[in-house]
Structure 1
Amino acid sequence: MSLNFKTRSAAKIIIDGAKIRRKDQIFALFAAALNFEPEYVANLDALYDALGERGERVFVIIKRGGILKLRLGKFYDILLEVLRSGKAKILIL
């Protein structure tokens, strides 16, 4: 599956900190929501590139952000930096 250029609607990604235990689960969520093959969005650099292709049409809702931060450690902070620099709109609950 590749990026669907016909669909220019916003992507909404919901990350539930209680359900995520590993980094690869985060990348899988983004790949599915952005219509990319999972191997295309397999690291933070690739995630940044994928966000760039979507422009400012990515909305990320993080539920139970405290739990997610505990589970992912420093990766959580870096993920937020990548999302912000990639122009994603973020809501942390």
Structure 2
Amino acid sequence: MSLNFKTCRVAKIIIDGAKIRRKDQIFALFAVALNFELEYVANLDALYDALSERSRQVCVIIKRGGILKLRLGKFYDILLEVLRSGKAKILIL
């Protein structure tokens, strides 16, 4: 399936695996991009709620996904599940 990220006008979130070291940094990125208080997206359940409540899609680009997976371990896999369940478009580089 081809993903066209140029048409994603609502929220584009770029996660650089080389810059992220902790889970809370991921949540902070989403809080800023979705224009929410950090407390509103401070865990995976809240992130799922925020994504699924949006009427328009969120586009997530993950750069250096291998590094991010090494740093975050199992959380990385669960994060991807939450993003997909919340109907986010995902591109992993």
Give the TM-score normalised by structure 1.
0.88
State the distance in 1 between where 2:49 and 2:81 align. Answer: 14
Runs of 4+ in 1 over 6 A off after TM superposition: none
For the residue of structure 1 that corresponds to 2:60, the secondary structure is strand
Contact kept, 8 Å, 1:56 with 1:87, in 2: the verdict is no
| Alignment-derived partner of residue 29 in structure 2 | 29
Return 5+ residue gaps in structure 2 as ranges: 1-8
For the residue of structure 1 that corresponds to 2:36, the secondary structure is coil
Return 5+ residue gaps in structure 1 as ranges: 1-8
Quick check: 1:51 aligned with 2:41?
no
**Percentage of matched positions with identical amino acids:** 89
State how 1:1-93 maps to structure 2 within 5 Å: 9-93=9-93
1:21-59 deviation digits (Å, cap 9, x = unpaired): 000000000010000001110000000000012244200
What number of residue pairs does the alignment pair up?
85
